Structure 1
Amino acid sequence: MNDDDDLDLSFEGAEDRGRWKHRKKEGSGRTLMAFAMVILLLGALGGGVYVGYDKVKGYFSAEDFPGPGAGEAVIEVKSGNTATDIANTLFKAGVVKSAAAFVDAAKDNPKSTEVQVGSYLLKKEMKASEALTMLLDLKNKNVNKVTIPEGIISLQIFDRLSKASGIPVAEFKKAARDPQKLGVPALWFTRLDGKKVVKTDIEGFLYPATYEIPKKSTATDILKMIIANFNAEMDKLDFVAKVKKLDVKISPYEALVAASIAQVEGLLAVDMGPIARVLYNRSYTGEFPCGCLQLDSTVNYWLRISGKDAKASEKLLAKELHDPKNPYNYDVKGMAVGPISSPGEVALKGAINPPKSNYYFFVTIDQKGTTAYGVTNDDHEKNKLTACKNGIPICG
C-alpha cells in the first residue's frame, strides 16, 4: 500500500453507517480497538505503516482545527450521502482535521440532516462545526442559478445561461451543434412522416426548469446537465412509449414538435392537449385541405432565429407568411420541421394524451386566454368575431 490516498475507511461501524440521528458519544474503546486493528493490519506491510499513519488517524480520532480556515475547497455533497460520507469527503479535501470531528459535530447539531445535495465552496482547515454551519447555509453553494421558462427558444436560453455563468453566448451556440454528444439519444432524430430531422438543432431539448450551475462549468457541461434533465423528464412521462400508443403514427420527435407549438399557442394548461390534437388532425389525417399548419407562431419562430423580431399576428405580412425561404411558413405540408420552443411538462403531456376531436381550427377569444375550437372554416370565422368583440386584435 504505497498510495495512502486510496484508503477508504469510514469513521462509523457498518451497522451505524448512514445514521444522522443525534445520540450520545460512545466510549473510546471501540475507536481505539479499531485503530489498533488498522495498525496491526498495516504492520504486516513493514515501513508502509508510517507513510499512512496520519491519514488513518484522521478517520479514527476526533482531532479538530481551531478554525476559521483559509483558502478554498470545493465540496460535492451527493444524493444518498451520510454524515460519514460527507465527513470523509471533507477530510480528504483538507477542510476538517478528522472525519470523526465532523461526525461528532453532525451528532450535536439537530439541523445536520438538512444539508442539501450540491457543490459547496468551503475553506481549508476549518473547525468541523463551522464547516457544518457553512454546508447548512445555501449561500455557500458553489453554483449560479438560472431559470428556463416554458416556451422560450434556444437563443433566449443561451442568453440566460450566458448571464448566469459569464460564458459567451457564442460558446453555447458552438457546444449546441451536436445534441447527440450532449446526451440526446439517437431515437429523437427520426420521423415517420418522411421529413428529415436536422441533427444539429437543439431546439426543444433544453427542458424548462431552474438549474444550479456549478461555477467553473463549461458551456458543454451546462448543456449536458440540461439535456440529462430532459432525458430524465421524458422517462418520467414515459413519453416514447406513449407516443407509440397514439392513434396517429408519429415519432417521439414529431410529438415533441407538437408539444413545442402547443406550448406557444396555448395560453392555458387545459388547452395544450386539444391544440396538439388540432395539429395532428391538420398534419396527419389527410382531411385538412392543405395538410399544413398555417400558424403565425411557426412563422415568427423563423423570424426570431433569423435575427429579426417576432410580430403580432395582425402585423405579419403576406410575404412573411408565405415566404418560400422559410421552412416554417404557412404552406409547408405536415408537422413543422422542428420544435419552435422548449415545451414544459403540461405541453408534453398534452402531446401524448390529446383528447380525440375533429377540430381543425382554434383561436384565443378573450383576455383570459380562453381558446375556442372549430370543425369548419365557418366555425373559425365565428370564433374570430367573438375574439374581436372581446378585444383580441385579430381582425384586419
Structure 2
Amino acid sequence: MNELDLAWEDEQRPRHRRRAASGPARKRKKGRGGKTFLAFFISLLVVGGLAFGAYIGIDKVKDMFSAPDYNGGGTGEVTVEVIQGQLAADIGNTLVQKDVVKSAKAFVEAAKSDERSRKLQAGFYNLRKQMKASAALSLMLDPRSRAVNKVTLPEGLTWQDTFTKLSQVTKIPYADFENAAKDPKALGVGEVWYTRQDNKPRDPGIEGFLFPATYDLPPNVDATAILKIIVARFNQEIDKIGFIDTVQSALHISPYEALVASSIAQVEGLDKDQPGIVRVLYNRVYSNKFPCNCLQVDSTVNYFLRITNKGAKPSTELLNSEIHNKNNPYNTHDFPGMPRGPISNPGTSALTAATNPPKSDYYYFLAIDTQGNTAYAKTYPEFQNLWTQAQKNGVK
C-alpha cells in the first residue's frame, strides 16, 4: 500500500521545467497553453489508469494475504460429510466442492483461530451455501447441525435385534431391512463365506455379518444402503485382523466355520475368556476326541428359540425336547460339527479369538460366577465339580 501511495505522489509532483524557447512571447504563450492542456489531459489519463491499476492491485494484494471468503450466513441447505481422520484442509476442500465456503484456506484460518475446531467430529452436517468460513465452522460445532442417525449396535445381537434397533433409530420399517437382507452378496458379503469345509448346509442369511459398532448413518438413505455400510465395516475389520488368511492357513478350516465359532464365543463369555472358549469348541469339533464331535452348547438351542420368537431360557430351564429338537437346524447336542450358521454378530474380540485360540486339552467350559468369568475342564467329572462350584456362586 505504501509503495502504491508513493507512486501516486510521484505522478502529481511538478517536473523539472525546461528553459523557455526563443521567439515572440505571444507565440510562446499560445504554444505553451496548448501543450499545458494536452499535458494535463494526458496526466489525467495516466493518473486515472494508475488509480484503477492500484485498485485492482490492492485487491490482488489482499488475496495474497487473506483467503477469499464469502460474507454472511449463506442460503439454502446442503449436507456435508466429514470423514474420520480428515485434516482441516481436507474438510475445507469438501466445503468448497459443496460451495459452502469460498476457499479451503479461509476455513483452515477459521479453524486455527477457534480452539473448538479440535472437537469437530466425523459425520454429516446440515449447512448452507456460500457461508463465511467462520460461520460455517460455528454451525458445524453446533450439535443441532448434525444430520445424523447415530446408532450403536452392541456385540452379540441377532439379526432380528439389529433390525429392530436400526428401525427404531432411522424410522425405516423393520420389513425393509428384512427385504434388503435377502441377498447378502448384494450387500457386500464375499464369495469366500459361502463355502464350508465340512460340506454342511450353510445358513443363507445375514447373521454374523452385521458388525457391532457405533454408526453415524447418512440422512435420506434406505435399508439397503444402511446394511451395505454395516457389512462394509465387517469386511474392513476382517481384513484388519487377517481373519480369512489366518483361519485357512493356520487352522485349516473355512472362514465361515470360524465365524460361527466366534459368534458362539461372543455370547458364551467375556472378552478375555473368548479365546479359551473357541479352543474348547475347536477341540470338540475337530479333534475326534469328543462324543460325536458335537458342540453340545445350550446357546445354540437358545438361539433357535429366539429367532422362532419363543424366548431364551437359562440352561437349567431348557426342556429335553428343546435341547434334542431334531427340527432345530442349530441343534448341537445331536448333530456333529459347527451349526449351520452364526448365532450372533461377533465383535473384534470374538473374531480375533477365533483366529488364534491358545492350545489346550480342555473340552468343557462354563460360567463359574455371576460376573461371567469362565472356568475350564478336561474331563466330565472335572466339569461336574466346576458346576457344583458355580451353583454355589449363584450361577443358574
Given the superposition, is the C-alpha separation of residues 346 and 78 from structure 1 closer, same or farther in structure 2, using an over 3 Å criterion? closer
Separation in structure 1 between the aligned mates of residue 86 and residue 57 of structure 2, nearest angstrom: 27
* Structure 1 residue 297 displacement after superposition: 0.5
User: What does the per-residue CA deviation read over 1:68-115, in whole Å, with 9 as the maximum and x for residues that have no partner?
Assistant: x44321112345655455445434534346666545534543544554
Amino acid at match of 1:319: S
Q: Where does structure 2 lack aligned partners over 5 or more consecutive residues? A: 1-55
2:279 paired with 1:277: yes
* Structure 1 residue 372 displacement after superposition: 1.9
Given the superposition, is the C-alpha separation of residues 259 and 83 from structure 1 closer, same or farther in structure 2, using an over 3 Å criterion? closer
User: What does the per-residue CA deviation read over 1:295-332, in whole Å, with 9 as the maximum and x for residues that have no partner?
Assistant: 11001101111122111111111111111110111211
Residue 38 of structure 2 aligns with which residue? none
User: Aligned-residue CA RMSD in angstroms?
Assistant: 2.6
> Normalising to structure 1: TM-score of the pair?
0.78
Separation in structure 1 between the aligned mates of residue 75 and residue 137 of structure 2, nearest angstrom: 16
* Structure 1 residue 126 displacement after superposition: 3.2
**Structure with greater Cα Rg:** 2
> Normalising to structure 2: TM-score of the pair?
0.78
Of 358, 366, 381, the residue aligned with 1:378 is 381
Residue 207 of structure 1 aligns with which residue? 211
The question of whether the paired residues in 2 share the 8 Å contact of 1:204 and 1:342 is answered with yes
Separation in structure 2 between the aligned mates of residue 29 and residue 342 of structure 1, nearest angstrom: 64
Residue 217 of structure 1 aligns with which residue? 221
User: What does the per-residue CA deviation read over 1:189-226, in whole Å, with 9 as the maximum and x for residues that have no partner?
Assistant: 2111111323x311111111111111111111111111
Residue 171 of structure 2 aligns with which residue? 166
Please give the secondary structure, in 1, of the residue aligned with 2:375: strand
Amino acid at match of 1:320: E
2:267 paired with 1:264: yes
Given the superposition, is the C-alpha separation of residues 106 and 264 from structure 1 closer, same or farther in structure 2, using an over 3 Å criterion? closer
* Structure 1 residue 127 displacement after superposition: 3.2
Separation in structure 1 between the aligned mates of residue 373 and residue 90 of structure 2, nearest angstrom: 53
Separation in structure 2 between the aligned mates of residue 85 and residue 168 of structure 1, nearest angstrom: 36
Residue 60 of structure 2 aligns with which residue? 32
- Please list every run of at least 4 consecutive aligned residues from structure 1 whose deviation after the TM superposition is greater than 6 angstroms: 28-31
Residue 362 of structure 2 aligns with which residue? 359
Residue 65 of structure 1 aligns with which residue? 71
Q: For this pair of structures, how many residues does the alignment match?
A: 339
Residue 327 of structure 1 aligns with which residue? 329
* Structure 1 residue 261 displacement after superposition: 0.2
Please give the secondary structure, in 1, of the residue aligned with 2:154: coil
Residue 320 of structure 2 aligns with which residue? 318
If each structure's helix is expressed as a fraction of its own residues, which one has the higher value? 2
Of 87, 108, 128, the residue aligned with 2:133 is 128
Separation in structure 2 between the aligned mates of residue 308 and residue 293 of structure 1, nearest angstrom: 22
Given the superposition, is the C-alpha separation of residues 34 and 251 from structure 1 closer, same or farther in structure 2, using an over 3 Å criterion? farther
Separation in structure 1 between the aligned mates of residue 336 and residue 220 of structure 2, nearest angstrom: 45
Separation in structure 1 between the aligned mates of residue 281 and residue 85 of structure 2, nearest angstrom: 44
Separation in structure 2 between the aligned mates of residue 331 and residue 154 of structure 1, nearest angstrom: 25
Separation in structure 2 between the aligned mates of residue 335 and residue 293 of structure 1, nearest angstrom: 7
Residue 236 of structure 2 aligns with which residue? 232
Of 339, 343, 355, the residue aligned with 1:340 is 343
